[in-house]
């Protein structure tokens, strides 16, 4: 009897083990099916967000090179090829909103960009999404631009409403794309990025790339081929701050900076990217029309010009002086000996200083008779020139010499006027 009971107990245990193993297999199968359903659901949701995907054409290099060569066409000669994106990295109170107003006027009316470079005006509308300015101030600043085709400019003041631009959500993005198509948008300007990222809970240093992917999707769905995003500068005011994607994303980066921390210091603009290389040039600013123009010369050139003004002031009405005596006389100034040397070379090169031989084989400097008066405050207005730009034939990097129009040397398109808070 005892043996029989032990055998029966073993049989029962084996059956229980088999039942548990079978139950486990069934449970695993059910759990795997649930995971498959979740995975498929995620795949389908991702596909909805991504939209239709068409595989690219696959060609050999020989086949590609046998095709007719495409000529780089420019929306803004030297500055922006057609069908590209621009990131405008602007320093604090450097004048970015004024620059946006000038850009819109050129894109709509075909006015030369910064009074120098040719523009192919867009056929549709420019849409401005502004997340910083009040509606009243934005309207007034754009009114002063005197845009002739203002019926083709759509302005959306969104300060305090940045959360409405939640384009990471597919439904929200589709609504925005539909609105942009409704208004015939062909160029989109976003000024500026940081308030949008903050409103959407995105970190400027880690999540900007996520927003830019959604922004590209918006442009595609809205049928917009060209855009510009404004971003504040970081890293000592020389590049757009935040996620490195902010520099990877654009085809072209524009940089707008002040000469120094003084709000009244001159502004400088440069551009670099695919088929674009515009060296840093000083801007002039007309306070009455809020219009900007390129006057040529980098920040280094401007500093040298200031030193030269000090040298001209020293030599005006005085006997010719050697370089050593000039440096000694300016020893108490903020100008270094190297800066004074550079100013003497500049003055000699452009004819404002005459060089003579002195005693003991010394070199003497005196003011040229063509310099009638010397300003002690602002540097003499100087411009760089360039031949007429070609839209079809590519860009030119060489500065060009044109007459400066009625614009005055920029002193502060940002906060210089008592009634102006920002540009």
Six-digit token string for 206: 């880690």
d(CA 348, CA 359): 20
Whether 218 has a pLDDT exceeding 60, the answer reads yes
Q: What is the DSSP string of 74-86?
A: EEETTTEETT-EE
Mean pLDDT to the nearest integer, 74-99: 93
Confidence of residue 243 (pLDDT cuts 50, 70, 90): low
d(CA 87, CA 82): 15
d(CA 267, CA 251): 23
d(CA 400, CA 49): 48
Mean pLDDT to the nearest integer, 359-373: 77
Mean pLDDT to the nearest integer, 260-282: 89
| Residue 246: per-residue pLDDT | 81
Total Cβ atoms within 10 A of residue 250: 23
* Least confident residue range of 169-178, 333-342, 378-387: 378-387
Contact 422, 101 (CB under 8 A): no
Contact 389, 406 (CB under 8 A): no
- Hey, is 89 helix, strand or coil? strand
Q: Which alpha helices (H) appear in 146-256, and where do they start and end? A: 170-182, 193-199, 208-222, 245-248
Confidence of residue 318 (pLDDT cuts 50, 70, 90): confident
- Cβ neighbors of 326 (< 8 A, separation 6 or more) are 311, 314, 315, 340, 344, 365
Residue 101 gets the label, from left (phi > 0), alpha (psi -120 to 50) or beta, of alpha
Tokens 């500026």, residue? 192
User: Environment class of residue 66 by beta-carbon count within 10 Å: exposed (0-12), middle (13-18) or buried (19+)?
Assistant: exposed
Six-digit token string for 75: 């929306």
| Residue 371: per-residue pLDDT | 58
Mean pLDDT to the nearest integer, 15-34: 90
Contact 326, 308 (CB under 8 A): no
Strand partners, 379: none
Residue 311 gets the label, from left (phi > 0), alpha (psi -120 to 50) or beta, of alpha
Q: Could you give the count of Cα atoms lying within 13 Å of 370 in the half-sphere of its Cβ?
A: 7
- Our measurement of the distance from residue 95's CA atom to the centroid of its chain's CA atoms, rounded to an integer in Å, reads 12
What percent of the chain stands above pLDDT 70?
Answer: 83
Confidence of residue 172 (pLDDT cuts 50, 70, 90): very high
Choose among 276, 273, 266: nearest CA to 298: 266
d(CA 66, CA 195): 47
Residue 368's φ and ψ, nearest 5 degrees, are: -65, 150
Whether 166 has a pLDDT exceeding 50, the answer reads yes
Contact 360, 325 (CB under 8 A): no
Whether 326 has a pLDDT exceeding 70, the answer reads yes
Confidence of residue 379 (pLDDT cuts 50, 70, 90): very low
pTM, full prediction: 0.67
Contact 185, 125 (CB under 8 A): yes
| Residue 422: per-residue pLDDT | 36
- Cβ neighbors of 138 (< 8 A, separation 6 or more) are 97, 130, 155, 157
Contact 221, 51 (CB under 8 A): yes
DSSP category for residue 159: T
Q: Which alpha helices (H) appear in 92-251, and where do they start and end? A: 96-109, 135-145, 170-182, 193-199, 208-222, 245-248
Whether 194 has a pLDDT exceeding 70, the answer reads yes
- Hey, is 52 helix, strand or coil? coil
Contact 257, 302 (CB under 8 A): no
Confidence of residue 264 (pLDDT cuts 50, 70, 90): confident
| Residue 299: per-residue pLDDT | 78
């Amino acid at each position: 009897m005892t043996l029989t009971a032990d055998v029966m107990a073993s049989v029962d245990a084996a059956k229980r083990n088999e039942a548990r193993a079978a139950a486990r297999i069934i449970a695993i199968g059910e759990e795997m099916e649930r995971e498959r359903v979740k995975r498929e659901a995620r795949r389908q949701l991702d596909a909805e967000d991504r939209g239709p995907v068409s595989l690219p054409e696959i060609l050999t290099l020989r086949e590609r090179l046998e095709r007719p060569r495409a000529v780089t066409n420019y929306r803004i000669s030297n500055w922006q090829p057609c069908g590209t994106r621009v990131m405008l990295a602007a320093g604090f109170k450097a004048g970015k909103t004024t620059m946006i107003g000038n850009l819109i006027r050129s894109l709509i009316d075909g006015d030369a960009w910064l009074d120098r470079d040719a523009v192919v005006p867009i056929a549709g509308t420019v849409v401005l999404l502004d997340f910083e300015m009040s509606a009243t101030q934005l309207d007034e600043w754009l009114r002063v631009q005197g845009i002739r085709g203002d019926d083709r400019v759509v302005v959306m003041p969104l300060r305090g409403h940045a959360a409405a631009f939640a384009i990471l959500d597919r439904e929200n993005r589709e609504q925005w794309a539909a609105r942009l198509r409704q208004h015939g948008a062909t160029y989109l300007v976003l000024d500026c990025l940081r308030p949008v990222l903050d409103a959407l809970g995105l970190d400027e240093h880690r999540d900007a790339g996520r927003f830019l992917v959604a922004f590209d999707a918006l442009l595609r769905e809205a049928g917009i081929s060209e855009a510009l995003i404004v971003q504040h500068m970081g890293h000592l005011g020389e590049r757009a701050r935040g996620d490195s994607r902010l520099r990877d994303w654009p085809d072209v980066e524009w940089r707008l900076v002040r000469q120094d921390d003084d709000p009244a210091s001159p502004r400088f603009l440069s551009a670099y990217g695919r088929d674009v290389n515009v060296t840093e040039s000083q801007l002039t600013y007309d306070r009455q029309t809020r219009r900007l123009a390129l006057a040529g010369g980098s920040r280094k050139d401007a500093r040298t010009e200031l030193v030269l003004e000090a040298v001209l002031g020293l030599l005006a009405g005085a006997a010719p002086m050697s370089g050593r005596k000039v440096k000694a006389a300016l020893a108490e100034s903020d100008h270094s000996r190297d800066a004074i040397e550079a100013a003497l070379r500049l003055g000699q090169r452009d004819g404002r200083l005459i060089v003579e031989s002195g005693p003991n084989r010394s070199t003497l400097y005196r003011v040229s008779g063509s310099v009638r008066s010397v300003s002690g405050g602002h540097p003499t207005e100087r411009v760089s020139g360039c031949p007429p730009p070609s839209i079809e034939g590519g860009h030119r990097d060489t500065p060009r010499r044109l007459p400066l129009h009625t614009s005055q040397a920029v002193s502060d398109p940002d906060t210089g006027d008592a009634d102006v808070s920002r540009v």
